[in-house]
């Protein structure tokens, strides 16, 4: 039904001659979720238009009576008061409803975007780095606020109010009607002309902001290393240059906004002056084509004069809000890019499977049919690059496998596939006999514990980070996990224990302690399959051995695939895999400890 609505709206846009762009369709689709609210907003707009006409009519008669008869028409004064009150109250309610609609749209979009990025996993880095993505999720979604709060409601007002005024004016003066009809398009033309320049400036501003966010994030993460290398001044200068570029881009947007406002005010003022000049000369009976007679009465002149600024006000307001539309479209372009990268789960045709002379080595032929994970001719090619060469292998339930291979051979790519973040691989991955592509990824991931090279943490307490994605855990469960991961002693020594704060970089804790907390978090998930990608990367030899021994102690009975280099050998693994371009070479290990 939704697709049908979108198709119908596309056809309507084509019939109306408007250029249909992806960002406009994106914004239109977002507004559909609050269509009921916007219908109420439009109804209030009709009341505002009627209120303007009533107010102007009442005041015109009152002013004319004051001038001509030195009396006040109470009935028309009441009419003007009713028009004023209906206009003000409707405008107030309209603004509240528009703000509510915008808030709901942005909240829903932000929630959907974060959920989408979470489902993408490592594939999100095909879009941008995390710092730039956070800018899109927060800054650029908030950039849609003015569009839904001000511009979209104003588009309806700019139609209904001038039409209501023109319908009222045409019965009073054809000349005033003609002035309105001739000058209104000029205001709209210059609004669009300046607005396009503002759109380009907004796009440049968002790009510079993303660059600034990435640089700041990189500087924050590598500050210690830069300090050791004595490059902090260089990094600071680069950050300062980017900040200056952002400042200049912001000022260019503001200049265009002021230029747009000034241009619209000029044309609106000249147009109002033309109406006032016509009415003044008419009342003085000095019009060249009507010398000696007034084309309008005094009350009609007051009526036209009061309506003139009201006629141009919605156009001027739309001009002021037009840069909000251009800003929203610029933000929508980047937001659309996020949704272009999808975590598809459709199965590929068998024709896409890699064929030909494959050097396959089935590692456990006697267990393959009953193995927990079976990979047949598994490979992955992306954008012409072979991310993972085809191989065949299997992992039994409860087997712990140590995988190594040269850099760039595809170890991390294999992890990406097993985590379910890449569905366009060649060959097949079977889990308990079911193809991974066609299985329920949510259920599959509930069975997984994932420990990467640099586990991700959020600003908060240790307790919050351990429970992240799991839910509330009992004190005994937390204690048992920390004891098993050998974290309990150093956590107890912290001032607030489990409620001690840690940053995204784990400030105050060593690399080994952070990895032990990752092990504790994996234990809390109750997962039976563990995937570890170089968990000792960046640790010294002694700390790495301690971490690996901890993993050995807590992973008995777990199915495990652990990537580690020769510098940090996993002696306790059941099987040792070497990944090469020809496939996987495997051999059983004689288990031994580090101590």
Tokens of 153: 């409601």
Higher model confidence: residue 360 or residue 188?
Answer: 188
Confidence of residue 281 (pLDDT cuts 50, 70, 90): confident
For 587, phi and psi rounded to 5 degrees?
Answer: -155, 150
Residue 213 CB burial class (10 angstroms; 0-12, 13-18, ≥19) = buried
Q: Is residue 363 part of a domain?
A: no
Q: What is the pLDDT of residue 197?
A: 63
In the structure, what pLDDT confidence band is assigned to residue 589 with cuts at 50, 70 and 90?
low
Helix, strand, coil fractions of the chain, as percent rounded to 5: 65, 10, 25
Return d(Cα 554, Cα 511) in angstroms, integer.
Answer: 19
pLDDT at residue 510, rounded to an integer = 80
**Of 62-71, 284-293, 364-373, 531-540, which range is least confident?**
364-373
- Residue at 558 is within a domain: yes
* Bridge partners, residue 375, by sequence: 393, 429
- The per-residue pLDDT for range 546-562, each reduced to its tens digit, is 888 888 888 888 999 99
Separation of first and last alpha carbons in the chain? 66
Residue 361 has pLDDT above 60, yes or no: no
Range of the domain at 500: 371-588
The reply to whether 5 falls in a domain is: no
Same domain membership, residue 106 and residue 46: yes
Q: Which pLDDT does position 376 carry in this prediction? A: 87
Please tell me whether residues 443 and 501 are part of one structural domain: yes
Q: pLDDT for 345-355, tens place per residue?
A: 433 343 344 33
Residues 6+ apart with CB under 8 A from 321: 146, 150, 151, 154
81 pLDDT more than 50:
yes
What pLDDT is recorded for position 367?
A: 41
* pLDDT, tens only, 292-331: 667 778 888 888 888 888 888 887 777 777 777 878 888 8
| 122 neighbors 342 (Cβ within 8 angstroms) | no
* Residue 288 sits in the same domain as residue 178: yes
More confident: 287 or 487 = 487
Picking from 168-172, 206-210, 393-397, which range would have the lowest pLDDT averaged per residue? 206-210
Residues 63 and 74 in one domain: yes
Count how many domains the chain has: 3
Is residue 435 domain-resident? yes
Same domain, yes or no, for 200 and 247? yes
Confidence of residue 48 (pLDDT cuts 50, 70, 90): very high
Band of the pLDDT at 108, cuts 50, 70, 90? very high
211 and 89 both lie in a single domain = no
Decide which of 116, 149, 170 is a domain's last residue.
Answer: 170
Least confident of 42-46, 98-102, 113-117, 508-512: 508-512
- 419-437 pLDDT tens trace: 888 888 888 888 888 888 7
Residue 443 belongs to a domain: yes
Last residue of a domain, one of 113, 142, 170: 170
The confidence score (pLDDT) of residue 4 equals 46
Asked if the structure places residue 512 within a domain, the reply is yes
Neighbours of 69 (CB within 10 A): 9
Lowest mean pLDDT among 2-6, 420-424, 442-446: 2-6
Q: Say if 320 falls within a structural domain.
A: no
| Weakest mean pLDDT among 136-140, 227-231, 438-442, 458-462 | 227-231
Same domain, 548 and 561: yes
Averaged pLDDT, 257-280: 75
**Structure-token pair, residue 253:** 């947007």
Q: How high is the mean pLDDT of the chain?
A: 79
Q: Give yes or no for residue 22 having a pLDDT over 70.
A: yes
Average pLDDT over residues 106-125: 85
Query: Residue 346 falls within a domain, yes or no?
Result: no
| Single residue among 170, 205, 231 that ends a domain in this structure | 170
Give the residue, 272 or 201, on which the prediction is more confident: 272
Residues 188, 165 share a domain = no
Listing from the earlier edge strand, what are the strands of the sheet with 529-533?
A: 448-451, 529-533, 559-563, 400-404, 575-580, 583-588
- Give the tens place of pLDDT for each residue, 455-512: 778 888 888 888 888 888 888 888 898 899 888 888 888 888 888 888 776 667 787 8
Secondary structure (DSSP) of 86-132: HHHHHHHHHHHHHHHHHHHHHHHHHHHHHHHHHHHGGGGGGT--HHH
pLDDT given for residue 353 in this prediction: 40
pLDDT, position 302: 85
Mean pLDDT value across residues 237-251? 76
pLDDT, position 225 = 67
Q: How far apart are alpha carbons 46 and 44 in whole angstroms?
A: 5
Q: Which pLDDT does position 43 carry in this prediction?
A: 94
User: pTM of the entire structure?
Assistant: 0.65
- Is residue 7 predicted with pLDDT exceeding 50? no
Per-residue pLDDT, averaged over 26-53, amounts to 92
Q: What percent of the chain has pLDDT over 70?
A: 80
Domain check: are 120 and 239 in the same one? no
Same domain, 235 and 283: yes
For residue 413, what is the domain's CATH number?
3.40.50.300
Residues 136 and 217 in one domain: no
- Of 177-181, 372-376, 483-487, the range with the lowest mean pLDDT is 177-181
Query: Same domain for 59 and 155?
Result: yes
């Amino acid at each position: 039904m939704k697709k049908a609505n979108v198709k119908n709206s596309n056809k309507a846009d084509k019939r109306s001659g408007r250029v249909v762009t992806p960002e406009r369709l994106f914004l239109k689709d977002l507004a559909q979720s609050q269509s009921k609210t916007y219908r109420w907003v439009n109804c209030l707009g009709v009341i505002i238009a009627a209120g303007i006409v009533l107010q102007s009519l009442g005041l015109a008669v009152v002013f004319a009576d004051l001038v001509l008869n030195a009396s006040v028409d109470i009935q028309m004064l009441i009419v003007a008061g009713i028009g004023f009150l209906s206009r003000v109250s409707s405008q107030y309610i309209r603004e509240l409803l528009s703000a509510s609609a915008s808030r709901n749209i942005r909240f829903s979009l932000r929630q959907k975007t974060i959920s989408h990025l979470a489902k993408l996993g490592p594939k999100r880095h095909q879009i941008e780095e995390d710092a730039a993505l956070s800018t899109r999720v927060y800054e650029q979604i908030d950039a849609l606020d003015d569009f839904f709060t001000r511009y979209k409601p104003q588009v309806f007002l700019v139609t209904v109010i001038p039409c209501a005024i023109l319908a009222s004016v045409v019965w009073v003066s054809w000349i005033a009607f003609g002035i309105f009809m001739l000058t209104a398009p000029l205001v709209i033309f210059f609004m669009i002309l300046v607005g396009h320049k503002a759109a380009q400036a907004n796009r440049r501003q968002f790009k510079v902001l993303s660059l600034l966010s990435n640089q700041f994030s990189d500087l924050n993460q590598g500050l210690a290393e830069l300090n050791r290398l004595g490059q902090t001044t260089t990094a600071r200068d680069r950050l300062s240059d980017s900040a200056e570029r952002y400042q200049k881009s912001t000022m260019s947007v503001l200049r265009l906004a002021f230029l747009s406002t000034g241009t619209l005010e000029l044309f609106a003022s000249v147009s109002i002056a033309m109406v006032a000049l016509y009415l003044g000369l008419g009342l003085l009976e000095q019009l060249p084509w009507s010398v000696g007679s007034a084309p309008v009465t005094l009350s009609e002149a007051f009526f036209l004069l009061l309506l003139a600024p009201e006629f141009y006000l919605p156009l001027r307001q739309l001009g002021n809000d037009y840069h909000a539309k251009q800003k929203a479209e610029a933000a929508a372009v980047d937001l659309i890019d996020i949704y272009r990268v999808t975590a598809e789960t459709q199965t590929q045709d068998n024709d896409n499977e890699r064929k030909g002379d494959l050097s396959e080595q089935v590692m456990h032929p006697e267990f393959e049919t009953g193995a927990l994970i079976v990979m047949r001719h598994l490979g992955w090619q992306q954008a012409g690059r072979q991310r993972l060469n085809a191989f065949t292998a299997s992992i039994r339930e409860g087997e712990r496998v140590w995988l190594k291979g040269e850099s760039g051979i595809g170890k991390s790519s294999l992890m990406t596939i097993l985590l379910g973040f890449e569905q366009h691989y060649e060959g097949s991955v079977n889990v308990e006999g079911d193809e991974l592509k066609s299985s329920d990824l949510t259920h599959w991931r509930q069975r997984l514990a994932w420990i990467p090279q640099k586990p991700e943490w959020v600003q908060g307490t240790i307790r919050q980070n351990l429970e992240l994605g799991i839910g509330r855990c009992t004190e005994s469960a937390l204690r048992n996990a920390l004891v098993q991961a050998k974290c309990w002693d150093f956590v107890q020594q912290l001032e607030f224990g489990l409620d001690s704060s840690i940053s995204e970089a784990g400030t105050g804790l060593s690399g080994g302690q952070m990895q032990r907390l990752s092990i504790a978090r994996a234990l809390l998930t109750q997962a039976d399959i563990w995937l570890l990608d170089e968990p000792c990367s960046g640790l010294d030899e002694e700390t790495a051995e301690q971490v690996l021994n901890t993993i050995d102690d807590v992973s008995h009975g777990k199915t495990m695939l652990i990537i580690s280099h020769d510098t940090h050998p996993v002696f306790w693994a059941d099987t040792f895999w070497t990944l090469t371009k020809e496939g996987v070479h495997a051999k059983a290990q004689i288990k031994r400890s580090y101590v």
